[in-house]
Chain A
C-alpha cells in the first residue's frame, strides 16, 4: 500500500466538518468514514486528525461531549456547531470553485492566445 497523498492545508478541516454534518461522531468514526468514502485514497493519519479536531473545537466550529460507548468506555463525541455549519458552507463553496478552476486548466489542450 502506497502512502496516500498528503492533504492540502485546510482540506482536513473541511473533510472533518463535512463528516460531522451527518451527525455527532467520535474521532475514530470520523477517520474511518473519510477512508471509506475516498476508497482509502485519502487516509487520515491519526497524528493530524486529533490535533485538527481539538483545533476545530477551540475555534468553536465543533463542540464535544463525553458519552459511554457500547463497550462501556468514556468516548469523546464531536458535533457540528452553528458556527461550524456556516464555516462548512463557505469553505465547501470555495473548495468547489478551486477544484473547478484547477480542473479547467488541466483539461485545456491549447495554449491560450
Chain B
C-alpha cells in the first residue's frame, strides 16, 4: 500500500509537489476574493463582468420553457383566445369600476392629511421584466430577470407583480438582474398589519408559499386573514403595498412569542413577468432612507409636507385645474426635482399604475426615458 502510495506521485512527475502549491495558491485567491466581496464590495465590477458572461448560458437554459410557451401560444385555438379575451375584458371593466373613485379619494386623502395638493402616486416609472431563470430551493429563492443596468436597474430596487411584493434586486448585471424574493431565507421585509397598524418584520421561510413573522409577542393583536402591507421602513419598499395574508397564528402558553405564518400575495412561482418600479424619492410614502428611518418626512419635498392647517375653503372650489390630481400638466410640484420634462404619457402611466395594472402601451414608452431618474434613491 505504501509502495503504491509513493508510486502515485510519480505519474504527475515534477508536478506532484506543485499540486499542493497550486492548491494553496487557489485557496488563497478564493479567500482573498471572498474577503473583498464580503467586506469591501470591491468585486462589484468583477461580478458585473461574470454575470454578463453567464447570461447567454442562462438564456440557453431557459430556452426550452420559453420555446414551449411560444409554441403553446401560437397554436392556441380561436375559442381559447376568445375566452381569454372576454375574461380580460371583464377584469378590465372590474378594475375600471374600482379605480373610478380613485381620483376623488386621492384628493380627499390629501385634504385630510392637510396637504395643499393631492399627492402624486408614489410609483414614478414601471418596467416590465421577463423571468429568465428561477431558483426556488429551500436555500435560495431567486429570480433572474432580463433587464439590467442598461435599462437603469439599480441594486436594491423593488420588484412587484400585480398582486403584491415579489422581492428586491441584488446583483445587477448589464442585461440581467438577480432578484432576491421576499420568501428567501435571507430576506426580511418590514411590514405593518393593515387592520391594526402593528409593525413587524416578515422573514422568508425558504418556501415560495410562506413567510414567517418571528418577532411578534404572544399577546399581539393579529389574526388569521389579516393583510400585511409594507411599512415603508428599511429603504427599499414604499409604504402601503400588499405583501402577504396571515394564514396561521399559533400561541403557546409557554412561549413568549407567537408563531405566525403568512402567505405571500404575489404569485412567485407562477409568474412569467414581473414589474421593476422606480419610486419618487421625495414622496412621503417612499421608502425611508435606511440611515435615518425616522427622518422620512423632513427629508421630503416641502410641497408635500403636512401643512399646519389646511383652510377648508380649499375643498370648496370644486374641480378647478389646481386640484386635478392626475392631470399630467399639473404635476403637483415634485417632478421639478426630477428630469426636466417628463413626457405626459409617462406621467399618466405612473398616475394610473398603482391602482390598475399599468396599461401596456404607456409602460412600454418608459424604457425610452433616460436611465438616471431611478438613481435618485439613496
Instruction: Tell me, yes or no, whether A binds B.
Output: no
